[in-house]
Amino acid sequence: MKIVVGLGNPGAQYEKTRHNIGWMVLDRLADRAGWSGRGRTRDAAAIVQGRFRGLDLVLVKPLTYMNESGLAVRKALARERAPLVELLVVADDFALPFGKLRFREGGSAGGHNGLKSIIEELGNEQFSRLRVGIGDPGRDAIDHVLSQFGRGEKARLSELLDAAADAVEAWAREGTNKAANHYNAFELRPDDDERAAPPGEVDGPPGLDGIRRTRTGWRKPKPPEGGE
């Protein structure tokens, strides 16, 4: 059994903010597995679990605020009697450019309050985490993580969530090191205003059928939600 925790804050005001990208990644996985709407609330978290593509997964979204995420993680591990090697935490990281992915097997919280809470609650730093880049604040970090993505970022957000969901599946199948070898080098396509590749080329714009070629395959992006 693999336990995947996505970090975020409960409440509609936080739903589409950068700090909630961990929740967004788990929602994308639940969509793939056909589990959307099937979860239940227990032990301070929204939880859905089942078998997907040969993987036994438990998806956990702590319903505490970010600073107390560790409580829900400790309870999930205790309930499943799972060792730390079976845990992956998906979190935002403003030290990474928007669209970068970074696996680590352990280490400090790096200033992330959700990871800090988990480390304090478990008394251990040795668990895997997938950091998803949300871009440099360039200003107050709290305002940045609680802001929504910009227009150019929203246009690529679905592709980033797909890549992060792929990375989580790779971790569950192959472990952190092999997943890191592949996904730590992942590059999200440039913003539409920055790229010059023609349709049909890697990272080029969509063709007439709306399908875009990426480094990991062919995708038909979902339309961005909302506006700037």
Q: What is the pLDDT of residue 228?
A: 39
Say whether 19 is catalytic: yes
Task: Tell me the per-residue pLDDT of 53-83, one tens digit each, with 9 for 90 and over.
Answer: 999 999 999 999 999 999 999 999 999 999 9
- Using pLDDT thresholds of 50, 70 and 90, give the confidence band for residue 227: very low
Q: Are strands 87-93 and 45-52 parallel, antiparallel or unpaired?
A: unpaired
Per the DSSP assignment, residues forming a β-bridge with 55 are: 52
User: For residue 138, what is the domain's CATH number?
Assistant: 3.40.50.1470
Can you tell me the distance from the alpha carbon of 108 to that of 9, in angstroms, rounded to the nearest whole number?
21
Q: Is residue 171 a part of any domain in this protein?
A: yes
Q: How many domains does the chain have?
A: 1
Task: Tell me the per-residue pLDDT of 98-142, one tens digit each, with 9 for 90 and over.
Answer: 999 999 999 999 999 999 999 999 999 999 999 999 998 877 888
- The single-letter DSSP state of residue 7 is -
Q: Is residue 195 a part of any domain in this protein?
A: no
Q: Is residue 219 a part of any domain in this protein?
A: no
Q: Is residue 212 a part of any domain in this protein?
A: no
Tokens 């592709």 locate to 159
Q: Which residue range is the domain that position 100 belongs to?
A: 2-189
Options 19, 112, 144, 182, the catalytic residue: 19
The answer on pLDDT for 36 being more than 50 is: yes
Q: Is residue 198 a part of any domain in this protein?
A: no
Q: Is residue 85 a part of any domain in this protein?
A: yes
Q: For 53, list phi and psi in degrees, rounded to 5.
A: 50, 40
Q: Is residue 62 a part of any domain in this protein?
A: yes
Q: Is residue 213 a part of any domain in this protein?
A: no
